[in-house]
Amino acid sequence: MTVAVVLTPPVALLVFLLVAIGIDRVGQRIADERTGEGEFRTAYACGEDALGERLQPKYRLYHVGIGFTIVHVAVLLVATMPLSWRGLSLGIPLLSVVGLSLVALLEADRRPVTRR
């Protein structure tokens, strides 16, 4: 089998799928928090038991995750642009829009939202 065949998308997908299934099976065997049915015994809150009250999650760092997503997509787009004037004419407006969106994201997090 040559390297070119291994690097084709269907073969690579199967290889990664088999690796992921293997990791999942090993994780199921070594996890001590699972019962026989695959259910967790405790709530996922640092191993603490939930005391019968419903907890509301706090999304304090949500804007940071969205910012990282925007930056990573922009980097992927700019990295695949051609090194010419046409690529430059596409890249500069893209990066300016990304910069404006990050500024808007950070400013929206700074000011509290007031309801009328």
Same-domain pairing of 45 and 85: no
Q: Summarize pLDDT for 66-89 with one digit per residue, the tens.
A: 888 888 988 888 888 888 888 888
* Helices of type H across 31-84: 62-79
- The domain containing residue 19 runs over which residues? 1-51
Tell me, what's the pLDDT at 43? Answer: 47
CA–CA distance, 29 with 17 (Å, rounded to integer): 19
Asked if residue 41 lies in contact with residue 33, where contact means CB atoms within 8 angstroms, the answer is yes
Same-domain pairing of 45 and 68: no
Count the neighbouring beta carbons within 10 Å of the beta carbon of residue 109: 15
Q: Among all chains, which residue has been given the structure tokens 């046409």? A: 86
Same-domain pairing of 116 and 62: yes
Q: What is the pTM of this model?
A: 0.44
Same-domain pairing of 6 and 45: yes
Q: Of residues 70 and 51, which shows the higher confidence score?
A: 70
Q: Of residues 103 and 51, which shows the higher confidence score?
A: 103
Confidence of residue 19 (pLDDT cuts 50, 70, 90): very high
Encoded tokens for 60: 């304090």
Please, which residues have CB within 8 angstroms of residue 49's CB and are 6 or more apart in sequence?
42, 43
The alpha carbon of 64 is separated from its chain's Cα centroid by a whole number of angstroms, namely 11
Same-domain pairing of 42 and 80: no
Q: Among all chains, which residue has been given the structure tokens 């950070």? A: 106
* Number of domains within the chain: 2
Asked if residue 23 lies in contact with residue 68, where contact means CB atoms within 8 angstroms, the answer is no
Same-domain pairing of 103 and 73: yes
